[in-house]
Structure formats: C-alpha cells, structure tokens
C-alpha cells in the first residue's frame, strides 16, 4: 500500500529528482536549505506528500500548533513533500523531495520514494547531505560524492565511498535506488563544526553548485551568493574578536592549504575548452532571455 498522497500527477520530461532531509544528514541545515533554494528558483509546485503517520515517533519529532486568523488552531505534522517543475530550456525537468528524516519504517519509506521516482519517470536521483567537520569557514567548501555506477563516478570525478558505520535515511535511499536500478548520486558538504548558525548559506551554495554540475541544470543563485558573502564576513569578524578561536581557525586553514597543495590537479585533468563551451551553451539555452525555467518570448 502506497503512503504517497497525490494532489496531481504531472507529465514531465526525463526528470532529475533531488532529495534532502532535515536531521542527522543536514549539518547547518545546509542540504535542506539548498533544496529549498532550488525549489524556489524553479518555482516548483507541490504534487504529492508522504503520509507521516507510519514514519514518525511524534514524541521525538513533534507536530506544531499554529493559529490562523487569530483564533483557529491548526496542526502542522512532520512532512515530506514532493514538488515538480518544468525546465523548458534544459534536457529534462525537475522533481524535488524535501522533509524531515523519518523515525520509523525506513525500508517502507524507501519503497515509496522509489515507486514515486518510477511513476514520474525519473532518470537520475541526487541526494544532498551535510556533515560537521574540522574545516575552516574561510576556505572553499569541500564537496564529496559517490555514484551508483562506475560511468557516473568517472564522469563526475567522484570516488567510490569507503565509509563504514552508522548511516541516515540518505544512505538507505541510495542503497534502495541502486537495488531498484535507478541511477543515483550523493553529494556531501563539510560544515565547520565551530559555527552554530543555521542555515549555512555558504555550504548551501556549494551544494547547489555541485547539484548543477551533476544534474545538468543551471540555477540562478545570485541571492544565495550574496547571503554566503555576508555570512563569511560576519563569521570572520566574530572569529577575529576571539584570539583563541582565531588561532584555532588559522590552524585549520594551514592544514587545509597543505592538503590542497598536495592534491593540485594536473593539466591533463582540467576540463577541455570544448567541455567548458558545451556547459556554457547549455546554461544559456536553459536561461533564455527571461531567466531559468521560463519559455522564450
């Protein structure tokens, strides 16, 4: 029995699905913020939701109460929402799944997500995640990824993961997609563990950019770029005011600079001029004269 509640079943062209969940997989709320930004950029519309009844311990993930019109009480339950957007200038359309990591019945939840992807004709699924790490806020965000098949690993420059240990719903979904024969990729960003601010716009921006390269969809992220710059300035000012924190961050910077120096790409690994030109032309086709996801007049 499906727990997916449809409001409409859109007809989409060869779509890509992107997923993120608040909770264990979402340090700094960066992954969920990235998917929310992508959703707003393409003006995606809700098409379905997953019934929360079977998937949450409501004493751990509690619903919230709000007032409407000043006196009517409404309850908002933990939600996993599926939305969709047509992207006329791109090779395919977009499906988004965003919500809160479920507490229960992960295998059944995964079966519902896989069935939804198949019903919408999804050609590839991209999951986003973020984790706390010993990285400085002042350096480019480190993105790691893995993919379900060797051709994607080679095309995207990923490495096959060797991680062993506890996993979240993102890891379980990736296993489910692979078992179902759905091509998938998982993108993970490192979040400075000493910065408590959420969401983290700089890390969210890095995930959006990584999503672009993986999905072949251009996202107008000017607003998020400005937020990321403001974030870095504010954190840098706070760090500079505390000598101990400043010294700690400087040690992280030195360590990261040493690692990056050891792993500088050789010229043979740089993208060719043809590849850069092809990607830029795709970006222009998708944007058109009126911006991303809109028909040309």
Determine the 3-state secondary structure of 129 from DSSP: strand
Average pLDDT over residues 166-194: 94
pTM for the model stands at 0.84
Mean pLDDT of all residues belonging to the chain: 87
Over 90: is that where the pLDDT of 237 sits? Answer: yes
Question: Could you give the domains of the chain?
Answer: 4-287 (3.40.50.10900)
H-helix segments, the chain = 30-41, 106-119, 150-156, 169-179, 201-215, 222-240, 243-262, 273-287
CB contact set of 76 (below 8 Å; sequence gap of 6+): 63, 64, 65, 66
Query: Could you tell me the pLDDT band of residue 52, with boundaries at 50, 70 and 90?
Result: very high
pLDDT in tens, 101-145: 999 999 999 999 999 999 999 999 999 999 999 999 999 998 988
- DSSP secondary structure letter of residue 104: S
SS3 content of the chain, % helix, strand, coil (to 5): 40, 20, 35
Average pLDDT over residues 225-246: 93
- Rounded CA-CA distance 73/69 in Å is 9
- CB of 113 closer than 8 Å to CB of 173: yes
Phi first, then psi: what are they for 195, rounded to 5°? -110, 120
Phi first, then psi: what are they for 184, rounded to 5°? -150, 155
Q: Is the peptide bond before 199 cis (omega within 30 degrees of 0)?
A: yes
Determine the 3-state secondary structure of 57 from DSSP: coil
- Rounded CA-CA distance 154/295 in Å is 33
- DSSP secondary structure letter of residue 79: -
């Amino acid at each position: 029995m499906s727990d997916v509640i449809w409001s409409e079943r859109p007809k989409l062209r060869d779509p890509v699905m992107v997923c993120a969940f608040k909770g264990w997989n979402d340090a700094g709320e960066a992954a969920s913020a990235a998917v929310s930004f992508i959703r707003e950029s393409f003006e995606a519309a809700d098409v379905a939701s997953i019934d929360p009844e079977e998937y949450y311990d409501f004493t751990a993930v509690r619903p919230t109460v709000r007032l409407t019109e000043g006196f009517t009480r409404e309850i908002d339950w933990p939600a996993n929402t599926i939305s969709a957007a047509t992207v006329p200038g791109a090779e395919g359309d977009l499906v988004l799944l965003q919500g809160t990591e479920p507490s229960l019945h992960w295998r059944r939840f995964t079966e519902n997500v896989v069935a939804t992807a198949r019903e919408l004709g999804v050609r590839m699924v991209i999951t986003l995640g973020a984790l706390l790490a010993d990285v400085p806020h002042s350096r480019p965000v480190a993105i790691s990824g893995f993919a379900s098949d060797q051709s994607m690993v080679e095309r995207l420059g990923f490495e096959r993961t060797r991680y062993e240990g506890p996993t979240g719903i993102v890891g379980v979904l990736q296993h489910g997609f692979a078992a179902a024969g759905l091509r998938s990729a998982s993108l993970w960003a490192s979040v400075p563990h000493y910065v408590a601010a959420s969401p983290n716009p700089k890390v969210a921006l890095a995930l959006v950019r990584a999503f672009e390269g993986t999905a072949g969809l251009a996202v107008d992220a000017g607003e998020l770029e400005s937020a990321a710059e403001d974030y870095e300035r504010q954190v840098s000012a706070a760090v500079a005011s505390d000598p101990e924190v400043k010294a700690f961050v400087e040690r992280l910077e030195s360590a990261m600079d040493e690692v990056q120096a050891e792993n500088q790409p050789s010229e043979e690994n740089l993208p060719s001029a043809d590849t850069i030109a092809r990607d830029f032309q795709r970006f222009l086709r998708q944007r058109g004269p009126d911006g991303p996801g809109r028909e040309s007049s």
